[in-house]
Amino acid sequence: MALIIEKRFMIEAIAEAKLALAADEVPVGAVVVMGSEIIARAHNTVEVSRDGTLHAELRALQFAAKAVGNRRLSECILYVTLEPCAMCAGACVNARIGALAFGAYDAVAGACGSVVSLTDGVLGNVVVPTIGGIYGEQCGKLLTSYFKEKRR
């Protein structure tokens, strides 16, 4: 089965990021898509949970594993508004996610090309087909507005 990246799903990830923003969390959102259906959606809940592992991607991957009853998600695509960090890129590799689409690039902690590249086969020869920059400006603006507000 070919996996086709569809930009419309990034809009759904952005909607999740906006929920994070409304909850005073760093605005990152993610959805996991199988076929043409969203099977999991999540946003960052690090602040409210006081748990640094609860990034949007990690939560979405956990919900997706529950939804399909399988730790392997090779028929799924993860859409996330920000380039995954090492933890989340590693989780994508562990889950053998079929493809990864992200919005804004992360020059500080991005682990899908920006700082390190974990999805290109370096880990156990697992390659996660990855595309960045989908609605990147819109995704990035959400983050900028959050951090601007914090600096006041």
Vertex 72, ends 66 and 76: CA angle to 5°? Answer: 80
Contacts with a copy of itself by CB under 8 A lie at 46-47, 49-53, 55, 58, 61-62, 65-66, 69-73, 85-91, 93-95, 108-109, 111, 115-116, 118, 122-124
Minimum CB separation from a copy of itself for residue 121, in Å? 11
Spell 106-115 as b/e; 16+ CB within 10 A means b.
beebbbbbeb
Of the two residues 53 and 145, which places its CB atom closer to a copy of itself in the complex? 53
Structure-block tokens of residue 68: 């399909």
User: Do 32 and 60 contact (CB within 8 A), yes or no?
Assistant: yes
CA 116/CA 124 separation, integer angstroms: 16
Minimum CB separation from a copy of itself for residue 73, in Å? 8
Of the two residues 117 and 138, which places its CB atom closer to a copy of itself in the complex? 117
Of the two residues 66 and 141, which places its CB atom closer to a copy of itself in the complex? 66
- Catalytic residue, from 12, 16, 47, 57: name it: 57
Minimum CB separation from a copy of itself for residue 103, in Å? 19
- Least Cα distance to 10 among 103, 77, 142 occurs for 103
Query: Quick check: is 75 catalytic?
Result: no
Catalytic residues: 57
